[in-house]
C-alpha cells in the first residue's frame, strides 16, 4: 500500500509540474516543462549522491580504517542480499546517518562519528539495516526526483511572477489582478508540493524501519537506537541543509524551532518506536 501511495504521489507531482508549464506557456510550456524535468532528473540521477556527500565533507573509509564497522555492514549486506556499499564517515558529534546512491550497485552509507560513539553494536545494526533498506527500495532516487521536480516547479512559478511584474501590457494576465492571482496560486501549489514531499518521505521511513528490523534480526535494536538518536540529536543538532533533511535517519533539524518540527519530512519518532515494538511482539 505504501509503495502504491509513493507512486501515486510522485505521479501527482509530475502532473502538477506539467500543468504549471501549460498555464505559463500553453502547449509549448508543457513541452518545455517536460524536457526540463527530464534534464533535471538526469542530473539528479547521476550526480546527486556525489553532491550530498561533498556537502557534508564525508570521507570514504576502507576496511583498515574501521574493521568493526566494515564487518558489521558486510554481515547486514548478506542478510539483505545486497552488494557492498561504500562507507563514508562525517566528522560531526551529532548522531545521524543516511544512505545515498542511484541503485544498489552504486550506493553508499554515511555515518557521523557521533552515531558510532553513541550506539551499541546492536543498535548500530538496526540503523545500518534501515539505511540498507532505503538502498534496496531505491528510496533516495525517488526522493531526489521529487525534490528536483519540486525545485523546477518553484523556478517556473518564480519566472512567471517576474514575467508578469515586468510586463508592459496592462490588459493581459500581467495586470495587477493576474499577478495577485498568480501569487495566491503559487502559495497554494507550494503547500501542495510540500505535503506531497512529506508524504513520500514519511511513507518510505516506515518501510525502511520495517526492513531494517528484519535485516538486523531484532526490531528492538532499531527502536532503542531511535530513542537515543531522538534525545541526542536535540542536544547536538547537525548543521544540515533543509533540502537534504529527508535523507537522514532522524530529522537533523529537530529541536531548532516549532515550524521545522511541524514541517518535518520524518514521521514522529514515538510512532516509529511503537510500530517497531509491536513488530517485536509478533515475532
Catalytic residue among 131, 205, 210, 230: 131
Contact 84, 73 (CB under 8 A): yes
- Helix then strand count (H, E) for the chain reads 9, 4
Here the cell at position 34 is 517536460
Question: Is residue 81 left, alpha or beta, with left meaning phi > 0 and alpha meaning psi from -120 to 50?
Answer: left
The torsion angles phi and psi of 87, rounded to 5 degrees, stand at -115, 130
**Is residue 271 annotated as a catalytic residue, yes or no?**
no
How far is 149 from 153, CA to CA, in rounded Å?
Answer: 6
Q: What is the DSSP letter of 248?
A: B
Contact 132, 212 (CB under 8 A): yes
Contact 6, 204 (CB under 8 A): yes
The torsion angles phi and psi of 89, rounded to 5 degrees, stand at -120, 135
DSSP 217-278: T-HHHHHHHHHHHHHHHHHS-----GGGGGGBSS-TTTTS-HHHHHT-SSPPHHHHHHHHHH
Catalytic residues: 131
Amino acid at each position: 500500500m505504501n509503495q502504491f501511495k509513493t507512486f501515486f504521489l510522485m505521479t501527482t507531482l509530475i502532473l502538477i509540474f506539467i500543468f504549471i508549464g501549460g498555464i505559463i506557456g500553453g502547449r509549448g510550456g508543457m513541452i518545455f516543462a517536460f524536457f526540463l524535468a527530464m534534464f533535471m532528473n538526469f542530473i539528479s540521477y547521476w550526480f546527486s549522491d556525489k553532491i550530498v556527500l561533498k556537502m557534508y565533507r564525508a570521507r570514504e573509509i576502507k576496511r583498515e580504517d574501521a574493521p568493526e564497522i566494515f564487518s558489521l555492514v558486510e554481515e547486514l549486506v548478506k542478510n539483505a542480499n545486497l552488494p557492498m556499499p561504500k562507507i563514508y564517515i562525517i566528522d560531526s558529534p551529532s548522531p545521524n546517518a543516511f544512505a545515498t546512491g542511484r541503485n544498489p550497485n552504486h550506493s553508499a552509507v554515511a555515518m557521523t562519528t557521533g552515531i558510532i560513539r553513541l550506539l551499541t553494536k546492536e543498535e548500530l545494526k538496526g540503523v545500518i539495516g534501515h539505511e540498507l533498506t532505503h538502498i534496496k527500495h531505491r528510496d533516495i532516487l525517488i526522493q531526489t526526483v521529487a525534490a528536483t521536480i519540486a525545485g523546477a516547479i518553484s523556478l517556473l512559478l518564480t519566472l512567471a511572477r517576474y514575467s508578469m511584474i515586468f510586463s508592459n501590457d496592462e490588459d493581459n494576465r500581467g495586470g495587477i489582478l493576474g499577478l495577485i492571482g498568480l501569487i495566491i496560486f503559487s502559495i497554494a501549489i507550494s503547500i501542495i508540493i510540500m505535503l506531497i514531499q512529506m508524504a513520500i518521505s514519511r511513507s518510505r521511513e516506515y518501510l525502511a524501519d520495517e526492513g531494517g528490523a528484519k535485516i538486523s534480526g531484532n526490531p528492538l535494536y532499531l527502536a532503542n537506537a531511535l530513542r537515543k538518536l531522538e534525545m541526542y540529536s536535540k542536544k547536538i543538532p547537525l548543521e544540515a541543509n533543509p533540502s537534504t533533511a529527508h535523507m537522514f535517519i532522524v530529522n537533523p533539524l529537530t529541536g531548532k524551532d516549532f515550524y521545522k518540527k511541524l514541517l518535518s519530512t520524518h514521521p514522529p519518532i514515538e510512532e516509529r518506536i511503537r510500530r517497531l515494538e509491536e513488530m517485536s511482539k509478533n515475532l
